[in-house]
A and B are shown apart, each in its own frame.
Chain A
Amino acid sequence: MGRLKHLGFGGSERLGLAMILASLLAIMLIVFALLWHQNEIQEDLIRSQGLSLTRTISALPYTQLVPPEGQPGLISNALQGQHDPNFAYAVIVDINNKALSLASAPGVTVPSIEWPAHPVGWLSDRMLKTSTGKNVVEFYSPLYSDGSVIAYLRVGYFLPGQSVSLSQLPFLATMALIIFLLTPIFYFLMRKEVAPLRDAHEKIGGVLESSQFSSSELRADGELNNFFDRFSEFVDFAKRRIDSLEAEQKELITSQRLITYSKARIENVLEAIPEAVLILDQTGAVSYGNRRLSTLIGVPHEKIAESNPSEWCDNPEIVNLIAQYSGQNSASYLADTIHMDVSSLRSVNKDTRRNLAIKAYPLFSPTEAATIYGTLIIFRDVTKESIAQRQQGEFIAHVAHELKTPLNTLALCSQTLLDNDSDDSQTINESANIIRDEVERLAGLIDNLLNVTKIESGDISVERQRLRLRDFLEDTFSVAKRYKNAEGLTFELDIPPDVSSIMADKELLRIAVNNLLTNAVKYSHPGGVVSVSCEETEQTIRILVKDSGMGIKPEEQKLIFDRFYRSSNPEVRAKSGHGLGLSLARDIIELHQGTLSVSSAPGEGSEFTIEIWKESGLLKQVI
């Protein structure tokens, strides 16, 4: 509202001042115009009078105009004492510019001018200045005698000035007063006319301040009321339009927020998906890739949506796969999951092959079901699953083989016994011994398998109890002495009487130590030595199981703890075994947060060392 005031509706005082100034300006202009007009009239009058006088005098005979010397001329008689205030002078000069007869107003000197050698022969006028600086219009004409120019007539009149004479002052003052008196009249009339506008202006100002507008508030008389009616209609229309636009804007903002929320939610869902996700648009260009994809392929997340797949993916198979889905007609979507064995992805070690399961899904338009407007490609890293599957398959194959081998031997023995018509005692005894050995082998295998399975599945629990190590090892050692092939071996047990107790699962630890002792006995030569000793450090206890048997090659020492691994040494393979004993022993020791290591030399024997914390392993971990 203040701004509107500033623009003109609040400054009535300034309007009055402006009107006064305008009236003064008008008075000045009118006075100036009157004076100018009056001068024009007077100048025309002077010219007319001068020309007439010059023409009249020049028509007189030269002798009358210029009498003999000593007599007054006509000009002097006729014009001296002229009461015309504008008359300046009248003079007849000869061709040498010498004054022959002169009549002039008092105090006026005839301006001297260079007279042309060949003067013009017609009546004319010119502007001159007197010695007092007054402007003079001079009319001149040649005087003839016997057809020749013998003199010139010069008649001068003062030009009227711009000054105001006293006689004009009353008239001009009256004019100025009239004009000046009209000013307040115009001012009040204007104020009256402007009053409805001012009222409307204030109401509109109120509207702007309160944001409320009622068209019925704007009322005026005559044409202005019509204008207000139209203006009110316009305002109502604008208001409706603004309301409509505001409603549309609100809907738009709401929709935009919903879209933003939905987009964020969808992106969160896509980010939460454990698989790598890639979304292509209709043209096959990448429009979105989640962070798991960037992790999988080893490129910054932002780069995926900004560049061509060939720029961030080294694997041509994947690039070609993505390229299949460019264009609207690319409907050759994969019916089944594609498995790719890739090694070129940047995120992984180049030496490590990675198995990806890739599946593409068409994204159909929500409005036109037949239109495909994009493609969703899911990359799933199934390397671990593949390895696990392969390992499981290998494990089952090993188990099957290990189970089948003794069964085959048992079948052979039974067939041999059935075929033994002569009741040959040697065959019967050998078969019986082999059957016993193989049954033991099967039982051991099955026990170990069950324990391995329990450990792998996490079903086994370590029930720690305080274990008197000396008693435990003596007991376990005495059992080993009764093993098959134990005959002819020397057994040595070296356990300090004051060895500390340990916290361990007695049954599990017995299995581990038993497996080591079984191997020590099995792979020892007749006459060899199997020993168990114990060493104690500040924090740990070491149980050492040593034999003087076949020994293990250095390159095999890392492999013997792998499941089902059996040495390629023929001497070793001649002994029955299934390659699970050491693996199980290591698992059990690791369950106790301990370590199982081997030191061996082929032909000299092996030494397996169990190192286990004296305190609870769990407690040790916490510490």
Chain B
Amino acid sequence: MKKRILLVDDEPMVLRIMRVALAKEGHQIDLAADGVQALAQIEAACPDVMVTDIDMPNMTGRELCLHLQENMPNRKFPIFISTSLAALHHRDWSKAIGNLHFLEKPISIRQLTRLIDQYTGANSPSEDLAP
């Protein structure tokens, strides 16, 4: 099922490979280099899924998620956060945010595709998907 996916990362190479890999699965891909661009993209066209990095200039992934939680309380689309910080205490800030999932780097496109299908097919509770 074709989804509109917003990829947010300040590394162009990451966006480049993910766009190719996810487009191959038939999804529509929007790109943003930071949180500010992502908000503009969401305002322009609300995605079905958002995949974001944390460490970015201008607005970090964390700030983006907290902003969405505050300004879009009825958000339906799931958020996947790619991170290399495996410790749970690095994720405490996200406890109050629903429908948010962590993906540990490096992201597996296959796993991401499966999760997108899973979380956009039916509403599932928030959980940590990182191994």
Contact = CB atoms under 8 A, between A and B. Distances in A.
A416 interface: yes
A576 to B, nearest CB: 6
B52 to A, nearest CB: 14
B123 interface: no
Given A424-B24, A427-B24, A430-B20, A415 B14 contact: no
Interface in B32-85: 33-34, 37, 55, 57-58, 84
A172 B121 CA distance: 170
B127 interface: no
Contacts of A438: 13
A525 to B, nearest CB: 16
A96 to B, nearest CB: 159
A414 B106 CA distance: 9
Interface string B9-33: 0111110111011001000000001
B129 interface: no
Given A415-B107, A574-B12, A434 B17 contact: yes
Nearest to B111: A419
B105 interface: yes
A434 B12 CA distance: 10
Nearest to B36: A570
Contacts of B84: 404, 408
A411 B108 contact: no
Given A437-B13, A568-B57, A426 B20 contact: yes
B109 interface: yes
B110 interface: yes
B17 A573 contact: no
Contacts of A576: 11-13
A430 B16 contact: yes
Most buried by B among A405, A416, A419: A416
Contacts of A610: none
Contact of A434 (B13, B57, B58, B106): B13
Given A437-B13, A570-B33, A570-B37, A411 B106 contact: yes
B17 A409 contact: yes
A575 interface: yes
Contacts of B58: 568
Contact of A573 (B18, B57, B106): B57
B13 A431 contact: no
B34 A416 contact: no
A314 B28 CA distance: 65
A405 B12 CA distance: 11
Nearest to B108: A415
A409 B11 contact: yes
B12 A413 contact: no
Given A414-B106, A427-B20, 11 more contacts: A412-B17, A412-B18, A415-B109, A416-B21, A416-B109, A419-B109, A430-B17, A430-B20, A570-B37, A573-B33, A576-B13
Interface of B: 10-14, 16-18, 20-21, 24, 33-34, 37, 55, 57-58, 84, 105-110
11 contacts: A405-B11, A406-B13, A408-B106, A409-B11, A411-B105, A415-B107, A427-B20, A427-B24, A434-B17, A573-B10, A573-B57
